[in-house]
Amino acid sequence: MKYSLIEGDCIEVMTGFDPCSIDAIVCDPPYGIGFMGKQWDCAVPGDDFAAAALRVLKPGGHLIAFAACRTVHRLMVNLEDAQFELRDLISWLQWQGFPKSLDVSKAIDKAAGVEREVIGKSKRHGGGKLSGASFQVSPVIPDLTAPSTPEAKRWSGWGTALKPAQEPAVLARKPLEGTVADNVLKWGTGGLNIDGCRIPYGDPAWPGPSGDWAYPNGPGGNTWSVNAPPDNSRSEPVKANDLGRWPANIYHCAKPSRSEREKGCEELRGRFREDVTGRKAGSAGQNHARSGMTRTGEVKNSHPTVKPTALMAWLCTLVGGQKGSIILDPFMGSGSTGIGALSGGFNFIGIEKDPEYLEIARARIRDTSPMFDQEVPIEGSYRGKFRSN
């Protein structure tokens, strides 16, 4: 498999690509929520990105792009306005988000200018301190306080936000040329690799109900049946497909561990927490779980929003087409899409604006396997350096 990692603005770089030359786009673009105060996260990709992506994709080519729950609608509108077909919304379930909620009761007491009585220590940690290369949680434990004013007592237990446990990803497709069959035979794009993305039974990637369905009553008293007689008299279970469960628009896996994030980056320059977060060393904000850096003091992969390689490999397999096709990530970050694409047998092109993240991505991809150490330089225009089968 071949890959090329390009430094630059993705829209400018894609102008040099041949039209209809990319089989699929899988990416994790900015969410437009100003994550950790990063300037690059000030807005979701706009109309110019959507138009550039549509131009380079083959007819029937799919695009998968992550977004935040609060801003995914803006991304979807931009893609739809560029003539993409919105096909689905995939949810990555990770359960690990930190709830950024305002305590309404505390806000009321603060507005009233009254002190709250300290009645103990919270069972939830609010930060910690560094000890060598590890992060110790226990030393920083916030006070547990009681409401003071009658209004604060009335609103005790109320907040302003849910725990973020999922991240949506838009699944869109460039319009077909003719029928699905016509398009697949001409361009090699247009379909989803259902069997290649089936979830093995018992795999935690599917968190939903498991087991065979029985008739006439399924799990939970469900009377739905497949190909049953009008009287629902069938009672035999529906046998599971040997290949696994039909892939759904849900995929469950944890956020990447520190070892997964850092693998291959051992020779890179390390950065400390205060350098990455932009917060003062030793400050409560820098040590707080919301800083995005709560596990180690020095890191080699400083990208704040690394996606799991297992998740990206599954998405690449879903939309990448036949082996040897070209998958593009215009917002490469630290390279998780590249690892997933190459591991699945696809060629990969990654574009990254930040030279530091580009260096991290290159180190991680090269570490994945020696067979992937075949980077193809692209100078200036695309020039068809990759050709899918």
pLDDT tens digits, residue range 133-192? Answer: 333 344 457 889 999 999 999 999 999 999 999 999 999 999 999 999 999 999 999 999
- pLDDT of 105 reads 97
- pLDDT of 341 reads 96
pLDDT of residue 114 exceeding 80, the answer is yes
Taking only the tens place, the pLDDT of each residue in 310-326 is 999 999 999 999 999 99
CA atoms within 13 A on the CB side of 387: 3
> pLDDT higher for 288 or 95?
95
> pLDDT higher for 376 or 4?
4
Considering only 7-16, 23-32, 282-291, 357-366, which range has the smallest mean pLDDT?
282-291
Alpha-carbon torsion angle 41, 42, 44, 50, nearest 10: -100
Average of per-residue pLDDT across 365-370: 81
**Do residues 339 and 312 touch, judged by C-beta distance below 8 A?**
yes
Tell whether the torsion through CA atoms of 238, 243, 246 and 251 is positive or negative.
Answer: positive
- pLDDT of 140 reads 57
Q: What values do phi and psi take at 263, rounded to 5?
A: -60, 125
**Do residues 302 and 360 touch, judged by C-beta distance below 8 A?**
yes
- pLDDT of 385 reads 55
Measured over all CA atoms, what is the biggest interatomic distance in the chain, rounded to whole angstroms?
Answer: 72
Angle at 385 between CA 54 and CA 367, to 5 degrees: 95
Domains of the chain: 3-97+165-199+249-265+304-372 (3.40.50.150), 208-242 (no CATH)
Other CB atoms within 10 Å distance of the CB of residue 286: 19
- Retrieve residue 128's tokens: 């910690």
- pLDDT of 110 reads 96
Taking only the tens place, the pLDDT of each residue in 236-291 is 555 677 889 999 999 999 998 888 888 878 878 777 655 555 555 555 444 544 44
